[in-house]
Structure 1
Amino acid sequence: MTHVVDQASSTGGTTGRGGPGAPGEALRLDRAHVFHSWSAQGALRPLTFAGGSGSVVWDDEGRRYLDFSSQLVNMNIGHCHPRVVAAIQEQAARLPMVAPPHAELSRGRAAEAILRHAPEGMSKVFFTNGGADANENAIRMARLHTGRDKVISTYRSYHGNTGAAVVATGDWRRIPNEYATGHVHVFGPYLYRTEFWATTPEEEAARALHHLQRVIEAEGPGSVAAILLETVPGTAGVLVPPPGYLAGVRALADRFGIMLILDEVMAGFGRTGAWFARDHWSVRPDLITFAKGVNSGYVPVGGVIISDEIAAAFDDRVFPGGLTYSGHALAAASIVASVEAMEDEGVVEHAARIGADVLGPGLHALAERHPSVGEARGLGVFWALELVADRTTREPFSAAVMGTVKAELVARGVLPFLADNRIHVVPPCVVTPAEVEQALAAYDEVLGLVDDAVR
C-alpha cells in the first residue's frame, strides 16, 4: 500500500523565500511568530518536519519517523499520495477557487464521490472548511428542521472549537468556552470505566441507553433537536460502542422526533476499516459530519451529508448559513482524487485487514504482556492503549509518565498521538505490516520502561 516519493526531491523546492530553508530556520520562525493551539506558549519546542511519504515523515535534518499519529488522525491515505498531489496541482493551474454560489465540476464530483459511500436516502452534501464547522452547521440544520433548540452530546467527546461545537464537546476544553446555549451532556458507554456499574458490554449498552432516555424525558423531548455522537469517540479514547448501543440511540431519536447526528470527522473514510464507522452497525443517521480522512487534510475541508428529508426542508426555505470557502475547488479536487485512489487501491479494505490481522493482535499481545496497559481497544487503524499505574484500581498514569512515554517513542523513531493516559495508535490506512511491527517493537520497549511503576 505504500507509495514512494523521492526524499531528496520532496524536501527541495524553489530557492529564496519559498525554498526549504536551512536546518533550524523553521523552528526559529515558529517560536518567533506562531501562536499554537491548546498550548501555553512559553515552553513549546515542536518537532520540525520537512517532508513525508506514506506512513513516514522526516525532519529538516533527515531523521525519519513512523507517523503513528497520522498528524491529527487525518492522514488516512498517507503523506504525499501522488494522485492527490497531482489533482491539487492540476486544479490550481485550471481554476483554484470558485465562490460557493456557482457550480464547478470538481465540487460536484467531490459530493458524488462522498455520497457513493453514504447510506441510502442521503443525496446532498454541504461543504465546510473543517470538522468543527461541519458539526456547527449540522446542529443548525437539526434545529431549523425540528424547530427545537437543545442538543444532547456526551461528556467523553470532542466536536470542534467553534461556538456550538466546543460546547457540544464534553472534555475540559468546553468549560472555558461555554458561551453557546441549549447544550446537555450525558455519559456514553465506556465499559472499562463504566459509569453504570456494568459488567458486560450488553449491560453497559442497556444502562447507557436508559440514562440517555431519562435525560431526554427530564429535559422535555419536545425541546431536543438533536443527539450528536461521535460514532466511535476518538480523542476521548477510541471508545468502540457496545453491541446495540447505536441502534438503541436511533430508536430513541425516532421515538421522540429527534435528529441523530453522527460525527465521523475522525472515524470516517477508512479509519475503522470501513468507509464510515456507522457501516459496522448499519445505523442510518439524519446527518453525518466529515472532514480529516476525506482527503487526509491535504487541503482544509469538511462537510455535512444530509438526509433527503432534511434537505427537502430547504427546497423553498433559505438555509441561513454559508462559508466563503465552502466547496473550495482545490479541496474538492483533492477529495475526488483521494476517494478514487482509496477505491482503486483497496485502501479501506487494507485498513480492515491490518487491524484484524496485525495491529489489533499485536496491541492485545502488548496488553497481556505489560502490566502498565489496562486495555487495548479499537477497529481498523483506530486503536488506543490505556495506560494505568494500578491495574486493580485502574488509576491513570500521570502526565509526567506520559511525557516520558512520548519522548521515548520519539527517540525510537515513532511519532505518537497521546491523550491523557492513552497512546492512540492511529497510523495511516496505507501502513504496511512491516511498519506496524516496527512500531509495535518500539511500544514494547517503552512499555517495558514504565512497567516498574505499576503497583
Structure 2
Amino acid sequence: MTDDSTGDDLDALAYELDRAHVFHSWSAQASLHPMVIAGGAGSTVWDHAGNRYLDFSSQLVNTNIGHQHPAVVAGITRQAELLTTVAPVHANLTRGRAAERILDRAGEPFSKVFFTNGGADANENAIRMARLHTGHDKVLSMYRSYHGNTGAAVVATGDWRRIPNEYARAHVHFFGPYLYRSDFWAQTPEQESERALRHLARVVEAEGPQSIAAILIETIPGTAGVLVPPPGYLDGVRELATRHGIVLIFDEVMAGFGRTGEWFAFQGFGVVPDLVTFAKGVNSGYVPAGGVVIPPQIAASFDERVFPGGLTYSGHPLAMGSIVAALDAMSEEGIVENAAEIGRSVLGPGLEELASRHPSIGEVRGVGVFWALEFVSDAATREPLPAAGIGAIKTALIERGLLPFTADNRVHVVPPCIVTPDEVRTALAIYDEALTALDL
C-alpha cells in the first residue's frame, strides 16, 4: 500500500490478509466473509472506507463500556509506561487494586479473586476449585449453555460445540427453565420454575449427591438465548446445592459488570452463589482478562495445600490497569445505572412494540442491555425461523448500518451499557425497517 491508498484499498487489504492467513473460530473456513472493522468509539464501529455501524452486538457481548473509552485507554497506557508484565508469583499494586474493586462490587461474602486470561479458563478453574474443595467429581450444567472452549468448560457447555470435544470426565447435563419452549409442559412462569427445579432435584438424586462437586449455571444463559430465569428458580437451585453440600457456581462471563443493569446479574435475584466466574465486561475486553471470585470458606481449602492451577498471564498488569480504569469509570459515570434505565424505559418497551408489529418475533425477553428476539416462521406453532431467514435479517441490518449478534433463530439485542436513548431509537427503527423490507 502507498500513501495515497484509499479506505476501500485498506479494507480490501485487511480482508485479503485475513482470508489468506487467519484461521477463524467455530467456522468452516472456505465460506467465511468477515466484515472489516478498522476503528470504533462508544457504540459505533467503522471500516477503513468510513462506513459506520451501530454496534448492537457489543462484539461478543463484551464491550460494556463501549469502544475506545478514553479512561480505559489511559489506564492501559499508564500501566504500559510503568510495567508491562510481571509473573503472577509476585505482588503487584495494580493487580491488588483490580481485585479490590471487583470484590467491592461483588459484595459479601467474597474475599479473593483468582485471575485468568478469559471466561473459559475462569470456568475451568472454578470447576477445579469445587472438585478439590468438596472431594467430589461430577459437575452438573445446563444443556442450554455456553461456558467456554477449554477442556472442562466446553464439556460443561450444553450446545452443539460440546459434542466434538467431549474429552473431560464426570459432566452431567440437565434442562433449565425456558417457558417459551418448555420441556416441562408448563403454562406459567411459576409452573416452569417448580417443574424445572423438580427435574434438577431428580438429576441430583439419580447421580448421587455425594458424587457431585458443583452445579455450574449461567445466571442468565446468554448465547443460548438470554433466558431470564423465572421467579424462584435460582433460589431453588441455591437451596438444593446448600442442602447437599454442592458448590454453586454462577457463570457471569456474559451477564456480569453492568449487562443486566446490576454489577453482577445474581444481585438482581437476591441469590448468592459460592463461586462467580467473570471476564468480558470487567474491562470490556480491552485486554484479555477473566477470573473467579472466591469466598473465605473455599479459599481456606488452599491455605495448607497447593492449588494446582495457574497461568503465566494471570493478573497481567495491562489487563489489571484496564480493569481498574473501567470499573472506576463505570462507577463515576453511572454506566450500570444507565444500562438498567435504558432497558426499563427505552429498549425493553421498544422491542415489545416492535414485536407487536412483526408476527415473526415469537418472544422478546431480557433485562438491562441484554435482550433477545426469538424469530418464528409460524406464530401459532412456534416453528423456529430457518437459518436462511436469520441470515437475511443479519444482512439487512448490516446494510442499514447496524451490527447485530445472531444465534440460531434469534437476534440478540446487546448494545454497550453506555448506549443512549437516541441510539436505541435509531436501532429500533433499523430493526423495523429491515423486518418490514423482508416482510417478516
Structure 2 counterpart of 1:207: 195
In the TM superposition, residue 21 of structure 1 has moved relative to its aligned partner by 8.2
Q: Check conservation: 1:24, 1:60, Cα contact below 8 A.
A: no
Q: Name which of 327, 336, 340 aligns with 2:324.
A: 336
1:108 and 2:83 matched: no
Shift in alpha-carbon separation, 1:21–1:261, aligned structure 2, 3 A: farther
- In structure 2, the residue matched to 1:346 is 334
2:234 counterpart letter in structure 1? L
Whether 1:125 and 2:139 are equivalent positions in the alignment is no
CA drift of 1:174 comes to 0.3
Deviations 1:115-162 (A, max 9, x none): 011130111000000000000000000000000000000000000000
Gap regions ≥5 residues in structure 1 = 1-14
Shift of 1:450: 3.9
Please give the root-mean-square deviation of Cα atoms over the aligned residues, in Å. 1.2
**TM-score (structure 2 length as normaliser):** 0.98
Distance 1:128 1:401 in 2: 38
Aligned AA (1:99):
A
Kindly indicate whether residue 111 of structure 2 is the aligned counterpart of residue 95 of structure 1.
no
Tell me how far apart the structure 2 counterparts of residues 99 and 61 of structure 1 sit (CA, whole Å): 41
* 2:259 matched residue in structure 1: 271
Deviations 1:192-234 (A, max 9, x none): 0000000110100000000000000000000000000000000
1:268 match: secondary structure? coil
CA contact (8 A) 1:119 1:284 kept: no
Equivalent position of 1:7 in the other structure = none
Equivalent residue for 1:312, pick from 300, 304, 312 = 300
Query: How far, CA to CA, are the matches of 1:450 and 1:382 in structure 2?
Result: 25
Q: Counterpart of 2:391?
A: 403
**Letter matched to residue 280 of structure 2:** K
Counting only pairs closer than 5 Å after superposition, residues 242-257 of structure 1 correspond to structure 2 as 242-257=230-245
- Is residue 73 of structure 1 aligned with residue 42 of structure 2? no
Structure 1: how far apart are the matches of 2:68 and 2:16?
25
3-state secondary structure, aligned to 1:288: strand
TM-score, normalising length: structure 1: 0.94
- Aligned partner (choices 218, 229, 237) of residue 217 of structure 2: 229
1:134 and 2:122 correspond:
yes
- Check if 1:389 corresponds to 2:377: yes
Alignment partner of 1:184 is 2:184: no
Q: Which residue of 2 aligns with 1:37?
A: 25
Partner amino acid, structure 1, of 2:66:
G
Identity of aligned residues (%): 71
Structure 1 match to 2:248: 260
Q: Is the 8 A contact 1:189 1:204 kept in 2?
A: yes
Residue 134 of structure 2 aligns with which residue?
146
Q: Distance in 2 between matches of 1:282 and 1:28?
A: 50
Instruction: State the secondary structure of the residue aligned to 2:320.
Output: helix
Which runs of at least 4 in structure 1 moved beyond 4 Å after TM superposition? Answer: none
- Cα distance in 2 for partners of 1:441, 1:269 equals 28
DSSP-derived class of the 2:176 partner:
coil
